[in-house]
Chain A
Amino acid sequence: MDSATLLARITDYASRPNPYPLYAELREAGPVVPQADGSYLIGTYHHIAALLHDPRMSADPRTRGEMTHKPPFLRLDDPEHHRLRTLAMRPFGPPHSPGRVDGMRGEIDRITEALLEPFEAGHQVDIVDDFAYPLPVTVICRLLGVPHEDEPLFRAWSDAIVAAADVRPDDESAEPDKGGDQARMELGGYLLNLAEQRRGKPGEDMLSAFVNEPDPALRLTPEELAETAVLLLIAGHETTVNLIANGALTFLRQPEQLDRLRREPELLPRAVEELLRYEPPVHMRERIPHADMDIAGTPVPRGVPVILALASGNRDPQRFPDPDRFDPARQDNQHLGFGSGIHACYGGPLARLEAYAALGALLPHLATASLVQDPPPYRQNAMLRGPRHLPVRL
């Protein structure tokens, strides 16, 4: 088939259960594959890795001429990106808060345990709605200082924002998506208001830390605070849910690997890395060249979208031997699941901790469980790919 339609075929909802043959086609047609809509699609590991480190590649949608207000640091370039990421890191990780993530271990275990309490043999459960979704939501709410009761409220906003940020081939007839901007404003306002309530009466949470920063040089403006909080809330759960659900699905499809993990629980951290490679929660990222470039012999003009298919790079046989095999003991596994370069995932240590706790506690339940539907129904989103529901009989 025509390689110029690859992006359209990959993002087509019908491909959601198994996009991997299309990625193989992409690597075969590559490394740089021009698309009918004018974008360029790349799916080979080494080229993706190099471009994620290339300072000429912008993450900022304004580089392709889009008129929009200043995005959060996920989609900003240096030096702005560096400034905001560093400020956002202060209450979250080293060097200023080295113990924060590790200190959440006990709490993550307690939340996991509580969620698994109703999991009884003979019952049918939805691994997504009953477990994989509520766990990271509860964790990120505690971390940021967002009342968990408000979940229905921000879920609607989050859904709209994530849908608007999805990778889609440009469709001339489609209305430009304004719902995403609206939702971002509203969620931002909501979070800013929560932060304001803590001004002068700080709790242990990150919103408190942001709003009570004493040094004016280290303070976020209200707009920056809103954008950053929205980013953290969404990035903190919309991805982790996929990792846990993809993990459960992969283990249920490969009972021999499930058995092995139950026998050798010390393999779990490596199994999680392998999941991030084999079934990554984030399939694609967009970049835009600041200058005319030559990428592996293909001229790519400035200002056009370049789509990096991280999930395809993760299955590139030039990088990973036997890439379509799920091997929980795989060595030398520098996957692209968390990205790489200056935008490499900020929350990786937390996501890993959540995945160890969630999958570790789920393993005994999975041993006697079976899938009710395979493949399960998937989320619409092609970029953040994962099951919408995962019904399982225990």
Chain B
Amino acid sequence: MAGDLKDGLIVIVGASLAGLRAAEALREEGFTGSLTVVGDEPHAPYDRPPLSKQVLLGQATADTLELPMRRDPDAEWRLGVRATGVDLLAKRVLLADGDSLPYDRLLIATGTRARPWPNPEEGALDGVFTLRTREDGAGLAERLAARPERVLVIGGGFTGSEIASACRELGLAVTVAERGPAPLVGALGGTLSKLAAVMQRNHGVDLRTGVTVTALNGNGAFTGAQLSDGSRVEADVCVVALGAIRNVEWLAESGLAAGPRGIACDAGCRAFTMYGIVTDDVFVAGDVSRFPHPLFGYQMLSLEHWGNAVEQAAVAAHNMVNPGPLQRPHLALPVFWSTQFGLNIKSVGVPTYSDHVVIAQGSLEARRLAMVYGYQGRVTAAVTVDMAKALDYYRHLIETAAPFPPPPGAQDRAIAADIAIPSAVPDPSVLSHGPTVALTGHLPDRRLTVV
């Protein structure tokens, strides 16, 4: 039996971070059968985080981000071809070019795409960008290098904030418009979002909060935008950073539990059907997945995290070629990092799964701190600002469900370390940016609602 699992036909849909890492891991696990990787982008797998950082600063170009291969996964690469559906009964993946691929086991790693500007005509104006792909990155970097008068960034989440940071580093005028009360508030809650707002303003960002952009203006080319407070921003480049949409539409007829928040799977990365029954030949990994996590009340987590894609791909690959009793759960804690305005922000756990926070070490004034998040008296997350080495300790507290607030006696302890304040995590619906980590309840979605 186990021998069979190391052989046969495996198809991976999605040729990016999760897809590549799973392909490598399958071979490391001893899979000797035939492996096909389908990707709709015409490129070998590449890395996305530099797109909002080094690429915009001109320190790297978008065509040099190919992901290094740990080993040649000896796969057939079907690049530039979209998968259009899957027939679970016939065990075939359907492709846009009319072909179809038989499989014994299937891995879905189709990730997300940028949420476009809701008005397609306005979104098509020259100078309006989203940022998800290599082409997006190259196009935006080229525009920024041409030194526009002003850049408008819509959405103050991680991606929007990093873009604004890059603009300031390039010496460009930039306006950030955010519907919520401050940047990053959806990911980090109230206190740190205030620090983020101060950092943006100190670095010369024209930050507008509590407003929405109501219209993009221009005749062919973007010239400015209308805000809900009646004001107008004149700018010649606009970046729409409104979060991500899961690439699940191609599964609408599949019978899998695929919805706007992702494809539901179990802790072993096995996909659920729309009836909440777990499959044993369809697996999910990366940004497109929703999976239950014991440390967060077994709610389904939905993450847009590089590290999660890597870890989950390894677990999925392992489970694809090993029988039940040898399978492993995907229990890794969510970890995320971002660099912006000279700060290195790292997060572990789920900051939004919290009711209170304390600054356990460092201080807001020093711009160097460890913030610990608690939910109903236990530690659920930590965020460090320029204090990454502290993270391991707090990770351990989260993993052991340690009591909140953390025990006294820490060096570099903040004066306010005992004063827990509300974490002030807003309802995501009031934000223009989608949070990159979300808890999405216990239920696998029954049906896809088209977004």
Complex contacts, A391 vs chain B, CB 8 Å: none
B98 at the interface (CB under 8 A from A): no
- B409 is an interface residue with CB less than 8 A from chain A: yes
Closest to A289 in B: B409
Q: Does A53 contact B (CB under 8 A)?
A: yes
With a cutoff of 8 Å between Cβ atoms, the chain B residues found around residue A79 in the complex are: 362, 366, 368, 412
Residue of B nearest to A63 (CB): B411
**Bound state CA distance, A211 and B322, in angstroms?**
61
* Chain A residues positioned under 8 Å from B390 (CB to CB): 53, 55, 342
Q: Which residues of A contact B393 (CB under 8 A)?
A: 50, 53-55
Q: Is there an interface contact between A56 and B409, defined as CB atoms closer than 8 Å?
A: yes
Q: Which residues of B contact A58 (CB under 8 A)?
A: 411
The answer on a CB contact under 8 Å between B409 and A342 is no
Instruction: For the complex formed, measure the closest distance between the CB of B361 and the CB atoms of chain A, giving whole angstroms.
Output: 6
For the complex, is A302 an interface residue (Cβ under 8 Å from B)?
yes
Partner of A341, one of B368, B389, B412: B389
Contact A78 B409, beta carbon cutoff 8 Å: no
B87 at the interface (CB under 8 A from A): no
In chain B between 9 and 41, which residues have their CB closer than 8 angstroms to a CB of chain A? none
Specify the main secondary structure of chain A where it touches its partner.
Answer: loop
Is there an interface contact between B396 and A77, defined as CB atoms closer than 8 Å?
no
Let me know if B409 and A290 touch, CB within 8 A.
yes
B348–chain A nearest beta-carbon distance, Å: 13
Among the listed A55, A82, A292, A302, which residue makes an inter-chain contact with B410, where contact means beta carbons less than 8 Å apart?
Answer: A55
Chain A residue with the shortest CB-CB distance to B413: A55
> Is A345 located at the chain interface by the 8 A CB criterion?
no
In the complex the two chains form, what is the Cα distance from A293 to B406 in whole Å? 12
* Residues B410 and A290 in contact, CB atoms below 8 Å apart: yes
Interchain CB contact under 8 A, B392 and A55: no
Q: Within 8 Å of chain B (Cβ to Cβ): is A291?
A: yes
Q: Which of A52-80 contact B (CB under 8 A)?
A: 53-56, 58, 77-79
Contact B368–A82 (Cβ < 8 Å) = yes
Chain B interface size, as a band, is 10 to 19
Closest Cβ of chain B to A42, distance in Å, is 16
Is B408 part of the contact surface with A, judged by Cβ < 8 Å? yes
Q: 0/1 per residue, B391-412, Cβ < 8 Å to A? A: 0110010000000000111111
Partner of A78, one of B361, B392, B396, B407: B361
With A77-B412, A79-B412 as given contacts, are A56 and B407 in contact (CB-CB < 8 Å)?
A: yes
Using Cβ atoms and an 8 Å threshold, which residues of chain A touch B396?
A: 50, 53
Q: Are A55 and B412 in contact (CB under 8 A)?
A: yes
A302–B392 CA distance with the chains assembled, in angstroms: 22
Interface centre among A53, A55, A302 (most CB of B within 10 A): A55
Residues 65-116 of A contacting B (Cβ, < 8 Å): 77-79, 82
Query: Could you tell me the distance between the alpha carbons of A55 and B360 in the complex, rounded to whole angstroms?
Result: 10
Residue in chain A with minimal CB distance to B410: A55
Q: What B residues does A341 contact at CB under 8 A? A: 389, 392
Q: Which of A82, A302, A342 has the most CB of B within 10 A?
A: A82
Minimal beta-carbon separation of B304 from chain A (angstroms): 27
A77 to B396, CA, bound (A): 21
Docked-complex contact B408 and A55, CB < 8 angstroms = no
Interface 1/0 per residue, B351-391 and A, CB below 8 Å: 00000000011100010100000000000000000000110
Per-position binary interface string of chain B over residues 408-434, scored 1 when its CB falls under 8 Å from any chain A CB and 0 otherwise: 111111000000000000000000000
The reply to whether B361 and A55 form a contact with Cβ atoms under 8 Å apart is yes
CB <8 Å contact, A56 and B389: no
Bound-state Cα–Cα, A382 to B68, Å:
44
Residues from chain A with Cβ under 8 Å of B412 in the complex: 55, 77-79, 82
Nearest-neighbour CB distance to chain A for B402, whole angstroms, equals 12
> CB-nearest residue of chain A relative to B362?
A79
| In the bound complex, CA of A292 to CA of B412 (Å) | 17
- Inter-chain CA distance A291–B368, complex, in Å, is 23
CB distance from B451 to the nearest CB of A (A): 41
The smallest beta-carbon distance between A65 and chain B, in angstroms, is: 16
Q: In whole Å, how far is A250's beta carbon from the nearest beta carbon of chain B?
A: 30
Task: Known A-B contacts: A56-B410, A291-B407, A302-B409. Give 20 more (CB < 8 A).
Answer: A50-B396, A53-B392, A53-B393, A53-B396, A55-B360, A55-B390, A55-B410, A55-B412, A58-B411, A78-B362, A78-B411, A79-B366, A79-B368, A82-B368, A290-B409, A290-B411, A292-B409, A341-B389, A341-B392, A342-B389
B-side residues, CB < 8 A to A, are: 360-362, 366, 368, 389-390, 392-393, 396, 407-413
Sample of 24 A–B contacts (CB below 8 Å): A53-B390, A53-B393, A53-B396, A54-B393, A55-B360, A55-B393, A55-B409, A55-B412, A56-B407, A56-B410, A58-B411, A77-B411, A78-B361, A78-B412, A79-B366, A79-B412, A289-B409, A290-B409, A290-B410, A290-B411, A291-B408, A293-B409, A341-B389, A342-B390
List the 5 closest pairs (A to B, CB-CB), nearest first: A291-B409, A55-B410, A78-B412, A77-B411, A56-B409
Residues on A lying within 8 angstroms of B by beta carbon are: 50, 53-56, 58, 77-79, 82, 289-293, 302, 341-342, 344
